[in-house]
């Protein structure tokens, strides 16, 4: 496989993948066909798609194709489903995003109120949170973190892009 074929291979992998791909997973698949500079290939693909209807996006060190933001006005779907989150769900999501990984008991301690299963279920259904393992404490409680869809929905590249707590306090006051 030559450099051009390697670029086509990576492009096809990203297009056909069900989930965004990490560099590590792409490298494993590419290494079977030779030693190529994956970073260079990904930069070339970003440049190739920069002025097209879709773009190559890196989010949380994972790569996927997305519709270019220049086309949003033309592709906007007029029938929007709105789904209001309860105050409990918004509080829970905020706690998870700022304190992740966090257990249900820790969320309840921070909120000062119980977290009902339906609250976590609604956030799971939106794919804004996901389980991230279990704590090595008695009962081995599940820990929760934000999911990739949370970042996509709020237009964040990383969880580090969330506003800092002191910035939020200055806005609210």
CATH value at residue 120 = 1.10.10.10
What is the domain range of residue 31? Answer: 3-68
Q: Is residue 127 part of a domain?
A: yes
Q: Is residue 80 part of a domain?
A: no
For residue 99, name the pLDDT band (cuts at 50, 70, 90). very high
In 3D, which of 129, 135, 119, 134 has the Cα closest to residue 153?
129
Give the per-residue pLDDT at 130. 94
CB 62 within 8 A of CB 22: yes
Average pLDDT of the chain?
87
Number of domains within the chain: 2
42-53 tens-digit pLDDT = 999 999 998 899
Together in a domain, 92 and 55 = no
Q: Is residue 73 part of a domain?
A: no
Together in a domain, 24 and 63 = yes
Together in a domain, 11 and 50 = yes
119-147 tens-digit pLDDT = 999 999 999 999 999 999 899 999 999 99
């Amino acid at each position: 496989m030559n450099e051009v074929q390697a670029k086509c291979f990576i492009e096809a992998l990203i297009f056909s993948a069900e989930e965004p791909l990490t560099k590590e997973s792409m490298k494993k698949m590419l290494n079977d066909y030779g030693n190529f500079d994956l970073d260079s290939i990904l930069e070339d693909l970003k440049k190739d798609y920069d002025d097209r209807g879709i773009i190559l996006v890196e989010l949380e060190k994972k790569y996927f194709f997305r519709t270019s933001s220049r086309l949003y006005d033309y592709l906007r779907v007029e029938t929007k489903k709105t789904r209001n989150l309860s105050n409990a769900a918004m509080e829970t999501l905020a706690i998870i995003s700022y304190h992740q990984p966090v257990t249900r008991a820790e969320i309840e301690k921070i909120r000062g109120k119980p977290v009902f299963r339906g609250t976590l279920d609604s956030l799971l259904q939106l794919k804004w949170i996901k389980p991230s393992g279990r704590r090595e404490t008695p009962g081995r409680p599940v820990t929760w973190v934000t999911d990739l869809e949370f970042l996509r929905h709020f237009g964040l590249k990383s969880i580090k892009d969330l506003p800092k707590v002191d910035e939020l306090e200055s806005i609210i006051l």
